[in-house]
Structure 1
Amino acid sequence: MDNMYKLMGFWTGIFAVMFYIGGMMTPSLLMLASTGFFILLGYMNLTERMYMYILGAYLMVFMVGFSYYTNFIHVPGAGH
């Protein structure tokens, strides 16, 4: 399970670089923070149950934040 967190760290790092190249600094910094979080967890050697609890908590926080952003902050059709 720890290898999967290292893999998630790798892919969020790829997303961080792509967001940075695309000029989107806020998502890039969020992905960079997620990369550090996942890599750190990957080297902690926790039990599989603890890894699943952490993943569930991470996904819950993400969905609450994403739902808040899409309902109250994002302005539809407000492009550059």
Structure 2
Amino acid sequence: MGRMFRVLGFFTLAIGLMAFAGGLVEMAFLFFLQTAFFVILGYMKFTERTYILLFWAYMIVTFTGFSYWTVFVMDMPV
């Protein structure tokens, strides 16, 4: 199960590099932090249940933050 988090780290690294190449420095930094988080978790020897709970917690935090940002922070064109 830890291998799944290393794969997530690989994909977030790829997205971060593409964002950095596109000039989106803030987004790239966010994805580089996620890469470090996923790779570190991938090498820890947790049980499968712990990995699943960590992933659910990550998804809840991510979707809550994304929803807050898109509704209250972004300028919506009218």
Q: TM-score range by the shorter chain?
A: over 0.9
Q: TM-score, normalised by structure 1?
A: 0.93
Q: Which consecutive unaligned segments of at least 5 residues does structure 1 have? A: none
CA RMSD in angstroms comes to 0.7
Q: Distance in 2 between matches of 1:40 and 1:76?
A: 37
**How many aligned residue pairs are there?**
77
Aligned positions of 1:35-50 closer than 5 A: 35-50=35-50
Moved segments of 4+, more than 6 Å: none
Shift of 1:45: 1.4
Q: Which consecutive unaligned segments of at least 5 residues does structure 2 have? A: none
> Which residue pairs with 2:69 in the alignment?
69
The aligned amino acid for 1:3 is: R
Shift of 1:35: 0.1
Q: State percent identity of aligned pairs.
A: 38
Q: Distance in 1 between matches of 2:25 and 2:48?
A: 33
